[in-house]
Structure 1
Amino acid sequence: MPALPSCLLEPLWDQFAALLPVRREFAADHPLGCHRRRIADRTVFEHVVLALVHGSGYERISTPGCSDRTIRRRVKQWAELGISQQVHALALEAYDRVIGLELSEISVDGCITKAPSGGDRAGRSPVDRGKQGLKRSVASDACGVPLGIVSAGANRHDSPLLGPTLDAAKEQVGAMPDRVNVNLDRGYDSAKSRSLIAELGFTAEIARKGMPAPIQAGKRWVVERTHSWMNDYGKLRRCTERNGEVVDFYLHLAAALVTLRMLIRRAANRYRWPSRPTTRRLK
């Protein structure tokens, strides 16, 4: 059974493949004039999607035609090229062109997940008995489309990550509208966060400390739903990658899938196309 339906996998692969560098099937500069056939990028990509969805180790998803070393080596190369970030930006551009991003209301929140192997983006988790954890800070639009993502150790506070997360959103989307309201929870209730938002020219609705949370900043629930969607991917729930660039590769790849899924769901009610899915539930 495929890890993703074809209506999600094929568009994602088309954009992913267009960004890959051109490589020959055989190495032309081999001293003996021969070399093992290079594993096709599509084959490795399908194994990477399996790792992302199920969270399995590369040894478990490897096959006779694609070894775990090949997957690791290719993922590291793709992460260094920043291909998943570019695919995420392309998905946001397509969503904005077809549906339209609602950038007047932006919500930012963090999420702590497990990182048992440690690494560049890991830190002592305050909610998991001090075990290694990963913090994911996400900015979303008014409908929950993930715009910017920043990864850090689980011991990092949400407030210092607010600026980098908003900068990442601006880098992925481009120009912001004149009026932007940022919705935040009580973890951002500080003078530093308010001055940062004022410097950017935005307004803010921040939940106050010591007051009932459900009544305050009621528009930020969409980013919590986005975190729930991203936690559906096993590699994000329990990240075993130690290289920070590889961690960001999987984060942006998951964000591109979330954006693409939202695009198909909302476009299905407005447009018709030959490969339009017949079910509303896209796993």
Structure 2
Amino acid sequence: MPDDLVPDDLWERIAPLPPIRPPRRHRYPGRLPADDRAALRGIVYVLRKNVSRRDVPAERTGCGGVTAWRRLRDWTEAGVWPRLHEVLLAELRKAGPLDMDDAAIDGSHIRALKRGAHTGPSPVDRARPGSKHHLIVDRHGTPLAVTLTGGNRHDVTQLTPPLDAIPRIRGVHGRPRHRPGRLFADRGYDYDKYRRILRARGITPKIARRGVPHGSGLGKTRWVAERTFAWLHQFKRLRIRYEIRADLHLGLLQLTAGATAPAPREARRWLGR
């Protein structure tokens, strides 16, 4: 069975993370559960092809779409995807490419077709139901944290939650790193109250001012956040929210961000883009 949906290097990192299933009964074991790697193939297939779980081909993935959906639910509730992201960020920091001295933050609207939690009237889509992705990246565009809110939430109100979501990144001797040195943001975050909050955390704010001509030069650093959004939103499953449950959509987003973390260029190979 082809394993192109889940390469060996990705599976080696994910395999230790899912929770251990309870032991089966000995006398009447019933049908054996689907292999975890096969279930992950089904999850990635839905992410890549944007199909219903009923349309997942068992002959290619090794399990049915309903099984893949249940495994996505269980692993999301168990916190598998944030732990995967933390493992990959630690590997990056150990290897050297992770640069947290400078970070950029941004938000992006998406349409939510089935409503659900963390949706609201989108101000950029004629008040249709929508959600919003909030992303913080390092200097090279590596995702450090992603969060999900309703489409009507202002960017500046979500300045601190992504910072709080950055894991304590190990990989080198000394104290784990969990906050950037400087944070770049656009005019949507231009409030002195939040500049003071950043300085209290030891972060130097680099936020564009409203009411001044363009050309501040901050775009040379914060453009990587927009580029990472472009990579993530190549997947229609992320660009348009089909899941009613907000945690499942966030789980798919975290999985993609984690797969992008080892190196943004490798994300195309890992997720077939």
Q: TM-score range by the shorter chain?
A: 0.7 to 0.9
Residue correspondence of structure 1 range 1-283 to structure 2 within 5 A: 5=4, 9-23=7-21, 27-28=24-25, 33-63=28-58, 66-171=63-168, 174-176=176-178, 180-218=181-219, 219-262=221-264, 264=266, 283=273
SS at match of 1:18: coil
Q: Which runs of 5+ in 2 are unaligned?
A: 171-175
SS at match of 1:150: strand
Aligned Cα RMSD in Å? Answer: 2.8
Give distance in 1, aligned partners of 2:55 and 2:120: 27
SS at match of 2:40: helix
Residues 257/213 of structure 1: CA separation in 2 closer, same or farther (3 Å cut) = farther
SS at match of 1:249: helix
Residues 48/172 of structure 1: CA separation in 2 closer, same or farther (3 Å cut) = farther
Instruction: Give the counterpart letter for 1:143 in structure 2.
Output: H
Equivalenced residue count is: 264
SS at match of 2:15: helix
CA contact (8 A) 2:166 2:178 kept: no
Equivalent pairs: percent with the same residue? 29
CA contact (8 A) 1:95 1:263 kept: no
Give distance in 1, aligned partners of 2:232 and 2:213: 27
What is the CA deviation profile of residues 205-225 of structure 1, one whole-angstrom value per residue up to 9, with x for unaligned ones? 111112234534221101111
Residues 204/170 of structure 1: CA separation in 2 closer, same or farther (3 Å cut) = farther
Instruction: Give the counterpart letter for 2:184 in structure 1.
Output: N
Give distance in 1, aligned partners of 2:167 and 2:28: 48
How far 1:264 moved relative to its partner? Answer: 5.0
Give distance in 2, aligned partners of 1:10 and 1:34: 30
The two structures have a TM-score, normalised by structure 2, of: 0.86
CA contact (8 A) 1:208 1:216 kept: no
CA contact (8 A) 1:114 1:238 kept: yes
Give distance in 1, aligned partners of 2:52 and 2:262: 25
Q: Which runs of 5+ in 1 are unaligned?
A: 266-276
SS at match of 2:154: coil
